[in-house]
Amino acid sequence: MTDKDDAGSVVIERLFEAPVDLIWKMWTEAEHFKQWYGPNGASIPTAKMDVRVGGRRLICMEMQTPNGTMQMWFTGEYREVVEAKRLVYTESMSDEKGNVVSPVDMGMPEGHPDTTEVIVELEDIGGRTKMVMTHAGVPGDSAGAVGWGMAFDKLASYVDARSR
Amino acid sequence: MATTTTNEDRLSETFAALANSTRRAILARLAQGESNVGELAEPFDVTLPAISKHLKVLERAGLVVRGQRAQFRPCVLDPAPLEEISTWAEQYRPVWEARFDRLDSYIRDLKQPEGSGEHDD
């Protein structure tokens, strides 16, 4: 509905009543990350986060269902780490050892890309923090995946302008 | 089940088609109106057959439809596959919104003032 709803990505902007350092910790320190990341009704029993460029991440989400406890694992790699400013990491569904699995095999809705990229940008606004989070699909195994989302967004807005 | 696989394949094809700067440029150009192969090739330093090859990839992904007029076969953009891509992303939006709501309240808990009276403006 807004300009930010580009095809192929989710962009969410928030203002937090907290300094950038604290928001950065929320994304990069497992003990904090676990507290908010799990979807409602889920918990995060495992969050391994080697926050440096090329470092791996492995996240487990656990949900209680009528059929018992269900776990979903996610893995990925940190691509950009600029303290208190910018964090970029990839995410794929995986098993508990971090071996990537296809989202459809895991029962995700069709059309989910195998790998997605999360970009977190932080900006200090007089002691508060403006955060822009972009979650975009990445074409499979593409080495030049970074920046692809931006190019795509441009294209999407061209198309949008034409079709409305 | 068969349709799931088909849609999934089609989406992979869309992503693959978009993972190339020349093809994205072609689409951007077509977003401004239909063109034929010759016109599309103009801004690029590549041969006509190379452009045709890119067009075939875009056609297979359903992003470009080509007219049947033998000589010119104008290319027209079809944005439908792009809209399909937006669906997975939009499925994630409420998940992220809920996460950030929790993040917001978690931060408030962390900062819980020992005494109150932090508002004096």
Give A40-93 pLDDT, tens digit per residue: 778 999 999 999 999 999 999 998 877 788 888 999 999 999 999 999 999 998
Tokens of A51: 């926050």
Residues A9-163: name the CATH superfamily: START domain (3.30.530.20)
Q: Do B15 and B82 form a contact (C-beta atoms < 8 A)? A: no
Task: Compare all CA atoms of chain B with the CA of A118 and give the residue at the minimum distance.
Answer: B96
Task: State whether residue A141 sits within 8 Å of chain B by CB.
Answer: no
Q: What is the pTM of this model?
A: 0.60
Q: Interface of chain B against chain A, CB under 8 Å?
A: 4, 7-8, 11-12, 15-16, 18-19, 21, 24, 27-28, 31-32, 77, 79, 82-93, 95-100, 102-104, 106-108, 110-111
What does the alpha-carbon distance between residue B23 and residue B8 come to, in Å, rounded to a whole number? 21
The residues facing A49 across adjacent strands are: A57
**Residues of A with CB below 8 A from B92's CB?**
10, 135
Measured between alpha carbons, how far is A78 from A91 in angstroms, rounded to an integer? 9
Domain ranges of chain A: 9-163
Q: Is B11 close to A39, i.e. CB distance below 8 A?
A: no
Our CA-based measurement puts residue B59 at a distance from the nearest CA of chain A, in whole angstroms, of 16
Of residues A26, A140, A163, nearest to B15 (C-beta):
A140
- Cβ contact (<8 Å) for A111 and B82? no
Q: Supply the ipTM of this predicted assembly.
A: 0.76
Q: How confident is residue A28, by pLDDT bands cut at 50, 70 and 90?
A: very high
Write down the H helix ranges in chain B: 2-18, 21-30, 37-41, 48-60, 80-111
Among residues B9, B51, B50, the alpha carbon closest in space to that of B27 is found at B51
Query: 């590549």: which residue's tokens?
Result: B46
Q: Is the dihedral of CA A105, A108, A112, A113 positive or negative?
A: negative
CB contact under 8 A, A156 and B82: yes
Span B80-102, pLDDT tens digits: 777 666 666 777 788 899 999 99
Q: What is the pLDDT of residue B109?
A: 92
Q: Are B45 and B25 in contact (CB under 8 A)?
A: no
Q: Give the best residue of A3, A44, A131, A158 to mutate against chain B (max B CB count within 10 A).
A: A158
Look at residue A137 in the predicted model and tell me its pLDDT.
Answer: 79
Between the alpha carbon of residue A98 and those of residues A29, A42, A57, A140, B59, the distances in Å are: 19, 20, 8, 17, 36
Is there a contact between B31 and A162 if contact means CB atoms under 8 Å apart?
yes
Compare CB distances from A139 to B16, B27, B103 and report the shortest one's residue. B16
Which one, of A163, A151, A158, A100, lies nearest residue B17 by Cα?
Answer: A151
Long-range pairs for A154-158: beta carbons < 8 A, 24 or more residues apart: A154/B28, A155/B18, A155/B24, A155/B27, A155/B28, A155/B31, A155/B82, A156/A6, A156/A7, A156/A8, A156/B82, A157/A3, A157/A6, A158/B27, A158/B28, A158/B31, A158/B32
Q: How far apart are CA B41 and CA A114, in angstroms?
A: 32
Distance CA A130, CA B76 (A): 40
> Quick check: A15 contacting B, CB < 8 Å?
no
- Residues A8-21 as b or e (16 or more Cβ within 10 Å = b): bbbbbebebebebe
Closest-CA distance, A68 to chain B, in angstroms, reads 22
> Which 8-state DSSP code applies to residue A3?
T
8 Å CB contact of A137 and B12: no
Residues in chain B with pLDDT values less than 70: 1-11, 69-71, 83-88, 113-121
Q: What is the pLDDT of residue A155?
A: 54
Q: Is A32 exposed, middle or buried (0-12, 13-18, 19+ CB in 10 A)?
A: buried
- For A94-119, the pLDDT digits (tens) are 999 999 887 767 666 556 678 889 99
Ordered domains of chain B (ranges, CATH): 2-80 (1.10.10.10)
Max Cα distance, chain B (Å)? 80
Beta bridge partner(s), residue A82: A86
Q: Do B86 and A8 touch (CB under 8 A)?
A: yes
